[in-house]
Amino acid sequence: MQISSMTALELGRKIRQREISAVEAAEASLARIREAEASLNCFVTVDEEGALARAAEVQKAVSSGTLTAPLAGVPVGIKDNMCTEGLLTTCSSKILYNFKPTYTAEAVLNLEKAGAVIVGKTNMDEFAMGSTTETSAFGVTRNPWNTEHVPGGSSGGSCAAVASGEVPYALGSDTGGSIRQPSSFCGVTGLKPTYGTVSRYGLIAYGSSLDQIGPIARDVSDCAAVLETIASWDRKDSTSVKREDCDFTAALVDDVKGLKIGIPSDYLAAGLDEEVKAAILKAADVLKTKGAQVEEFDLSLVEYAIPAYYVIASAEASSNLSRFDGVKYGYRAKEYEGLHSMYKKSRSEGFGEEVKRRIMLGSFVLSSGYYDAYYLKALRTKALIKQAFDRAFEKYDVILGPAAPTTAPKLGESLADPIKMYLGDIYTISVNLAGLPGMTVPCGLDAKGLPIGVQLIGDCFQEKKIIRAAYAYEQGRGPWELPAPACVAGTADAAGGNGGCADGGVRTAAGSGCADDGARTAAGKGGI
């Protein structure tokens, strides 16, 4: 088996058993990145030198027996909104084009303590604002299943990197679905933990009351193992929660007998693609066959989650992003007259359109005269949405539904109409408003050969229930094949796609002869 086809835990096991060295694992990941980046652009920064040095260091610790963690020596991609000391962290924004943090995010630090080898920073929608990874200042990321389509967003780079075998796993962040929706579009498994489970220290904030870091991987076991590693109480994040039940891999049990699963009928209503609906219901049937009790119910308030979310997230963003002013780091305008002109020009030139749109909306809904009508109204709606979930979890252990209304749209189709793009978040954002854990697991392909994911939602702190349901489903579903290397590498030029590759018939492991011009060095893309 090729290293690029292994799960994180499989690779970690082989490293511990000395069958593969950490350096070989890093080399394989970097080789795969060189091969696939020209057509996919999953990374903003690839740290080849740093990764190889770090892998050698980790290998020493593994060899001497001081490092025995399951993920020791396994390469990882980190979403570019998590600070990594000395390694470029851009949030895919021009305003942070040259920012090298002086410290590392707590979640990333936890991974490093467990022997993770960071190969690079993954592309995303600018400041995580978007659902397609098209608002990145460093170019779009393409979907490995079909490069004419988006990978979803905002953690599109992380999901596409895992789907294409560039890295066995990655970290993403989820404010309104940014782990679960791109996981669905890319055919990978992603988990957004209960709010407060993973420290947000060092995560560049978008909507602080909604943001949460989580794992993206090839299967449920990897997600559980990664979450177990990154979850921690952190005094540097005042919303961090002390949990005693972070042994998430203990929930990898193939047994759902008696588990009560509810499917919100509101999630299956108009607007949901028929093929997606069929795949979701088929996934529910798999769990039913294994002894789960499945029924439909009315969740209510589903459509109100979107406007409430955009008010709250934009309000928080307008406050959080006020720190980018051209003084302490990042981009400063070349020409200005005085301090305020410098602030305004640096921000106006540094931020992209979608970010500016949300900052303005957020400033407006927080301004005097509108605060009650918009901001407080949204917070009241949030309370009602939380109550609706509380009622649902009195009856059900797990809520099952789609992660997105459709499979991945084509590049360029979404940005023209922001509201239409926001509507695509309908099944994911209420989970953030209510602070719940949610997970996406691949459950089928549509007629175009694009993946569909089923979303499992749990009550607060009930990750183990969704992990168990997801694991049992995965066992029932059977093996899930990701697009093979030959499909994703070197087939697409800037405008082209690889259409025919995703339909399952042509998945060979043959080499691609792709040119080595995709990956960037740790110096970053620069030039802006």
Q: Contact positions toward other proteins, by CB under 8 A?
A: 98-100, 102, 195-196, 209, 235, 238-239, 241, 301, 303-304, 306-308, 310-311, 318, 322, 325-332, 336, 338-345, 347-348, 351, 356-357, 359-367, 374, 376-384, 386, 418-419, 433-435, 460
| Closer to other proteins by Cβ: residue 138 or 343 | 343
| Closer to other proteins by Cβ: residue 66 or 322 | 322
DSSP letter at 499? Answer: G
- Min dist CB 334 to other proteins, Å, is 10
| Closer to other proteins by Cβ: residue 349 or 413 | 349
| Closer to other proteins by Cβ: residue 345 or 465 | 345
- Min dist CB 416 to other proteins, Å, is 12
DSSP states of 141-195 as a string?
A: --BTTBTTB---SSSHHHHHHHHTTS-SEEEEEESSSTTHHHHHHHT-EEEEPPT
- Min dist CB 270 to other proteins, Å, is 16
CB-count burial class (<10 Å; 0-12, 13-18, 19+) for 528: exposed
User: Known catalytic residues?
Assistant: 79, 154, 178
| Closer to other proteins by Cβ: residue 338 or 478 | 338
Phi, psi of 299 (to 5 degrees): -80, -40
- How far apart, in whole angstroms, are the C-alpha atoms of residue 192 and residue 228? 13
| Residue 236 CB coordination number (10 Å) | 11
- How far apart, in whole angstroms, are the C-alpha atoms of residue 42 and residue 142? 8
- Min dist CB 362 to other proteins, Å, is 8
- Min dist CB 481 to other proteins, Å, is 38
- How far apart, in whole angstroms, are the C-alpha atoms of residue 283 and residue 289? 10
List the strands of the sheet with 189-192, edge to edge: 43-46, 117-122, 75-79, 169-174, 212-217, 189-192, 438-445, 451-458, 398-402, 260-264, 293-297
- Min dist CB 115 to other proteins, Å, is 24
Residue 27 near residue 117 (C-beta atoms within 8 A): no
Longest dimension (CA), the chain: 70
| Closer to other proteins by Cβ: residue 239 or 406 | 239
